[in-house]
């Protein structure tokens, strides 16, 4: 087989071109100038993969890495791994590369490995294409071509793969989960369990003590997934440890652990391991460009999980300070955008300046139905010249609807922002805040806001943000929150905030899956498919 017969262009990112032009283009030009078929030019150019026309140990390692790209959630087909492997093994069995094919193999393998390192480190697509507007890593000096050259020269290709991949702990855990679910999907016994859908539930749900013809299959699936022990007996009666297994399954899938098999639980039980494989791959791709480790102190909100984590990053290691539930924007019409920013201010006892859209659609109609709502909720009007108006008139309400006057809510126990507001300036006016409606944190699904993020433990978050400011201990934080007088604190040191989207997490060694409530996994899947079509 000639190298020209198997070659298909492999995608190379702009960042990768920087070093590749020296590693590949210049030697190739020298080869052409010396005359096609000339072995002299090839001998004079630095070769990464060949020695006297025969592949080196590094060439074997490189092709093996490309063939195993699926372990990193990447596709070996993207890097022509199978074709490169066939040529390599055919050459090993013969007399080496003919001179006219040696340079081509050198170029093809270098191109494939450079593209692989680029995809592994930076991701396969630009996140801004799917409305994930994270700041580019300005200090990231990773050069895929230079990294490849160094790894080959130092004979450290396997180590170079780990060094190019994201260092975030979740990525390592997802790599293990991917292997686990891929093995399950390939196992003929386990995969057979998902060959058919579960039968419909009696009365659309299965409660404790009831019988169900599909319960035996559910038990086998729970055993395969690790939610029930392997010696669990099959039965059609839903009770005892089977209920506990279902509750564990529900917890791992972001469902209310009520021990009842309803339609949502049934739908998750029907998701096959092969579908989970793809879900994990999509989340590994997203981790390549989500800036979870880009600052010494981080606040990360995982939208699908409805959870906030505040942590420090020291020597690449994460030290978790606090974890809390959050309420995020409604998936229906007020989704929380995905981006990162700098937390710069804390506002204690804040005013709520009601956005015009909410004033028109919600607040003004409520006041018209019940004029007493204006005073009972602590609202007031602010004219264009800054005058504050505490009385109510139809003329002023019309001015609010027309945008000539705004309505705001005074600090107090009924203020929609609660008693504290965490501000990271952004074009969407998104911020973190508390809420008087604390009962909503008990809901399993919490996409209930107009886009901003409500935090369950504002004092804990404020303590993390102000931990290195000796003036602001917990007592003073609580005093400022309850004072009723609005005040804004400019932080001495900003804290990085990331509004992220991961539908797969690993908690205490167990894999958790969450609903793709904003459809971002689907959007990413479509973008990757388009990218493959474009590059082929």
459-498 pLDDT, tens digit per residue, is 999 999 999 999 999 999 999 999 999 999 999 999 999 9
CB-based burial, 56-80: b 16+ in 10 Å, e otherwise: bebbbbbbebbeebbebbbebebbb
Q: Nearest-CA neighbor of 449 among 366, 325, 347?
A: 325
Contact 273, 184 (CB under 8 A): yes
User: What is the distance in angstroms between the CA of the first residue and the CA of the last residue of the chain?
Assistant: 21
For residue 10, the 8-state DSSP code is -
- Distances in Å between the Cα of 147 and the Cα atoms of 70, 141, 354 are 21, 10, 52
Contact 409, 379 (CB under 8 A): yes
Q: Nearest-CA neighbor of 520 among 292, 253, 250, 303?
A: 303
3-class secondary structure per residue, 88-126: HHHHHHCCCCCHHHHHHHHHHHHHHHHHHHHHHHHCCCC
> What is the model's pLDDT at position 135?
82
Cα-flanking dihedrals φ and ψ of residue 326, to 5°? -135, 165
- Distances in Å between the Cα of 322 and the Cα atoms of 344, 447, 463, 465, 497 are 19, 21, 10, 11, 14
What is the CATH code of the structural domain delimited by 293-351+411-501? 2.40.440.10
pTM for the full predicted model? 0.89
Please list the rounded mean pLDDT of every run of 10 residues in the chain (536 residues): 43 50 44 39 64 89 97 96 89 71 90 97 92 76 93 96 94 97 95 94 94 96 96 94 97 96 97 98 96 95 98 92 98 95 98 94 95 95 94 93 95 95 96 96 96 98 97 97 96 97 96 97 94 65
For residue 19, the 8-state DSSP code is H
The highest-level CATH class for domain 175-276 is: mainly alpha
| Angle value at C-alpha 321, between 320 and 324, nearest 5 degrees | 100
Q: Which residues are catalytic?
A: 433, 452
**DSSP structure string for 214-272:** THHHHHHHHHHHTSS-TTPPP-SB--THHHHHHHHHHHHTT----S-B-HHHHHHHT--
> What is the model's pLDDT at position 2?
42
Contact 367, 392 (CB under 8 A): yes
Q: CA 535 to CA 531: how far, in whole Å?
A: 6
Residue 25: how many CB atoms within 10 A of its CB?
Answer: 12
Q: Residue written as tokens 């806001």? A: 449
pLDDT, tens digit, for every residue of 127-175?
988 989 998 765 568 999 999 999 999 999 999 999 999 999 999 999 9
> What is the model's pLDDT at position 138?
57
Q: Which two tokens stand for residue 60?
A: 């074997």
Contact 171, 73 (CB under 8 A): no
Q: Residue written as tokens 């749900």? A: 205
Q: CA 440 to CA 454: how far, in whole Å?
A: 10
Q: CA 256 to CA 264: how far, in whole Å?
A: 10
Sorted by where each begins, the domain ranges of the chain are 3-165, 175-276, 293-351+411-501, 353-409
Contact 263, 523 (CB under 8 A): no
Q: Which two tokens stand for residue 179?
A: 């292997």
Helix, strand or coil, per DSSP, at residue 85: helix
* Beta strands 487-500 and 54-55, pairing class: unpaired
């Amino acid at each position: 087989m000639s190298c020209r017969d198997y070659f298909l262009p492999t995608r190379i990112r702009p960042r990768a071109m920087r070093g590749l032009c020296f590693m590949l283009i210049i030697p190739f030009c020298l080869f052409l100038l010396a005359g096609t078929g000339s072995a002299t030019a090839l001998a004079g150019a630095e070769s990464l993969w060949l020695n006297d026309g025969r592949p080196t140990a590094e060439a074997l390692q490189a092709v093996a890495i490309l063939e195993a790209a699926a372990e990193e959630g990447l596709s070996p087909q993207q890097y022509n791994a199978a074709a490169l492997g066939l040529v390599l093994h055919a050459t090993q069995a013969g007399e080496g590369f003919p001179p006219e094919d040696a340079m081509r193999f050198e170029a093809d393998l270098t191109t494939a490995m450079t593209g692989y390192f680029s995809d592994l480190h930076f991701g396969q697509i630009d996140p801004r294409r799917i409305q994930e507007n994270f700041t580019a890593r300005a200090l990231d000096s990773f050069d895929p071509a230079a990294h490849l050259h160094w790894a080959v020269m130092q004979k450290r290709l396997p180590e170079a793969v780990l060094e190019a991949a994201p260092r975030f702990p979740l990525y390592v855990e997802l790599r293990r989960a991917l292997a686990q679910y891929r093995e399950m999907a390939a196992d003929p016994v386990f995969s057979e369990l998902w060959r058919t859908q579960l039968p419909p539930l009696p009365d659309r749900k299965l409660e404790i003590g009831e019988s169900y013809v599909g319960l035996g299959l559910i038990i086998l699936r729970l055993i395969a997934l690790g939610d029930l022990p392997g010696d669990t007996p099959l039965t059609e009666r839903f009770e005892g440890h089977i209920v506990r297994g279902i509750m564990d399954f529900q917890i791992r899938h972001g469902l209310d652990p009520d021990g009842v098999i309803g339609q949502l639980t049934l739908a998750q039980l029907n998701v096959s391991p092969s579908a989970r494989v793809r879900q994990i791959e999509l989340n590994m791709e997203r981790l390549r460009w989500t800036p979870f480790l880009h600052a010494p102190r981080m606040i990360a909100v995982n939208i699908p999980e409805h959870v906030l984590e505040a942590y420090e990053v020291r020597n690449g290691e994460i030290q978790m300070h606090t974890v809390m539930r959050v309420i995020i924007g409604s998936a229906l019409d007020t989704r929380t955008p995905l981006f990162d920013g700098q937390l710069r201010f804390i506002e204690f006892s804040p005013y709520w300046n009601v956005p015009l859209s909410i004033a028109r659609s919600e607040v003004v109609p409520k006041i018209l139905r019940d004029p007493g709502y204006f005073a009972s909720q602590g609202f007031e009007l602010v004219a264009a010249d800054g005058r504050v108006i505490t009385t109510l008139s139809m003329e002023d309400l019309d001015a609010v609807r027309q945008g000539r006057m705004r309505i705001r809510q005074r600090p107090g126990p009924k203020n929609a922002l609660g008693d504290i507001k965490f501000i990271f300036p952004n074009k969407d006016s998104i911020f973190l805040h508390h809420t008087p409606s604390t009962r909503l944190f008990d809901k399993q699904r919490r996409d209930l806001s107009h886009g901003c993020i409500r935090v369950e433990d504002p004092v804990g978050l404020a303590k993390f943000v102000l931990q290195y400011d000796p003036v602001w201990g917990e007592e003073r934080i609580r005093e400022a929150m309850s004072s009723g007088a609005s005040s804004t604190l400019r932080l001495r040191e900003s804290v990085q905030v990331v509004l992220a989207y991961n539908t797969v997490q690993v908690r205490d060694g167990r894999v958790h899956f969450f609903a793709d409530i904003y459809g971002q996994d689907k959007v990413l899947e479509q973008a990757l498919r388009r990218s493959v079509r474009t590059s082929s």
